[in-house]
Amino acid sequence: MLFMGDGAIHNHQELKELARRCRNDIVKMTHAAKSGHPGGSLSAIDIMVSLYGTIFRFDTNNPNWEDRDRFIMSKGHASPAMYALLHQMGIMDEDEMMSFRTLGSVCQGHVDMNWTPGVDFSAGSLGMGLSFGLGCSIAAKMDGSKRKVWVLLGDGETQEGQIWEAAMAASYHQANNLRVIVDRNRIQNDDFMDVQMEVGDIGQKFSSFGWTVKEVNGHDIPALVDILEWANVNESPIAIIAHTTKGKGVSFMEDNPSFHGMAPNDDELSIALEELK
């Protein structure tokens, strides 16, 4: 069946509950692996749940369905968010999810389409996802397909020049089936972006390349649903700037650069799971 895109999630409260369960999975799998990137996974999960839970066209019984929409997780280190969602959708069982970052696991440290059913991009170095997504969008147009391509960027990776080359090319090629969502959590690997290298008004930058741009609170699920539905029916390269909090939902991780790439210890896991009840 089509899990998403067919009204499978009926209301905002169900989406919020799905996001809560995914947050539980994120902290559990990073704790078990003693490594991973919980902060950016927690900041992105409301966005991903709102997308997959409403307008995203995806068949849970056939993750390789040719005409599915494509989701390109350019910030591929936030793989726990992807695996948690695949688990909650029934694509992946719990044992597979909890094998995160172990040798031979289907859940590699960065998302990899060769290892994991339901993953559409093999990540590694940052900055490449939008170029890949543009290729997917052009291929869809050449195929005469109605599928759309959604690219999730981290705001830190917008420091990469390749992002803006792809933004320019997308406008030139009139990639009106291409959608970008920027997880604007203001923290990258080592520190806050305004300490490392602030990029300024990301939305204005996309707009200068001819994109249609909207901004939204990336944790307000009703607002996210509205803007995603709007983006789904508009014919233009669209960039959504989603303002988020790194580590959202776990108090000691929120706005804490340390948890960009650090797993919770035993005590921290207990606190996190209690807060996420």
Q: What's the angle, vertex CA 208, arms to CA 203 and CA 209, rounded to 5?
A: 100
Query: Which tens digit of pLDDT belongs to each residue from 77-108?
Result: 999 999 999 999 999 999 999 999 999 999 99
Average pLDDT over residues 10-35: 96
Residue given tokens 């927690």 in the structure block: 42
Query: Which tens digit of pLDDT belongs to each residue from 247-259?
Result: 999 999 999 999 9
State the pTM of this model: 0.95
> Are 219 and 245 within 8 A, CB to CB?
yes
Q: Tokens representing 251?
A: 């108090």
CATH number for the domain that contains residue 128: 3.40.50.970
Identify the H or E element spanning 80: helix 79-89
Would you say residue 7 has pLDDT above 60? no
Identify the H or E element spanning 72: strand 70-73
- Average pLDDT score, the chain: 95
Q: Which domain holds residue 57?
A: 2-275
User: Total structural domains in the chain?
Assistant: 1
What are residue 121's phi and psi, to 5 degrees?
-155, 140
